[in-house]
Amino acid sequence: MRVKEASALISGGASGLGEATTRRLHEAGASVVISDLNAEKGEALASELGERATFVEANVMEPDQVQAAVDAAAGAEGGLRISVCCAGIGWAERTSSKRGPHNLEYFSNVVKVNLIGTFNVLRLAATAMSQNAPDDQGERGVCVNTASIAAYDGQIGQTAYAASKAGIVGLTLPAARDLAGRGIRVNTIAPGLFDTPLLAALPEENRQALGAGIPFPSRLGDPAEFAQLALAIVENQMLNGETIRLDGAIRMPPK
């Protein structure tokens, strides 16, 4: 997929992995639509990037809001040809503990945001991409989703998060097969421990310890490295139906 002059939708694009991806795609020449719940950060990022950058406030669980973001990207120069979904939340709680069973509402909410929200973005973005004229290789678009190594190595207390991310891994291949006839690719990145705002709240000692547990490189991942992989996926047409671990060879222990 040619990035320059294409339009890209980045869900959860105002901070962390999403912000890094927004910056990288914009730098590569794409028009970017930043979709996020945080209007302050989203508007600030769009203003900083300037030309070819727009913010649309949207909750990935709300079809009408996501459709508005998709429409904004589809209406930009080049049409919507790239969708990267980075929106997600986490929750830590054991299946059963001294306090009783896992809160079902919290489990459901994590699955709704991470899995159903991702699919909501995917289905609406892919439908818009289907209207594009194919490029000289027959391609109309590419969708990149965000899972986690928790999909494979979920730790104690991560049943909700791991299940939601495993669902994203599981839908990747069938979605790619669904959309193959329309010239739309679907891939997923499963990042490990990255230096995102969530980890930034930890004491530096804890952050260093987390990084030291990664075989190589023994440090937290840089969001720019996630963005670099997202761009590579977009540009490499043979990458389709694949989930790629980006984790420095770590395999998470039980806790």
Give strand pairing partners of 10: 34, 84
By annotation, the residues acting in catalysis are 161
Name the phi and psi angles at 196, rounded to 5. Answer: -105, 170
List the beta strands (DSSP E) in the chain. 7-11, 31-36, 53-57, 80-85, 96-97, 100-101, 141-146, 184-191, 243-246
From the list 56, 59, 83, 60, the residue with the least C-alpha distance to 72 is 56
Give me 233's structure tokens: 């996926």
For residues 168 and 183, give the distance between their C-alpha atoms in angstroms, rounded to a whole number.
Answer: 21
CA atoms within 13 A on the CB side of 157: 7
Residues comprising the chain, all counted = 255
Residue 90 burial by CB count (10 A; 0-12/13-18/19+): exposed, middle or buried?
middle
Dihedral sign computed on CA atoms, order 172, 163, 215, 227 = positive
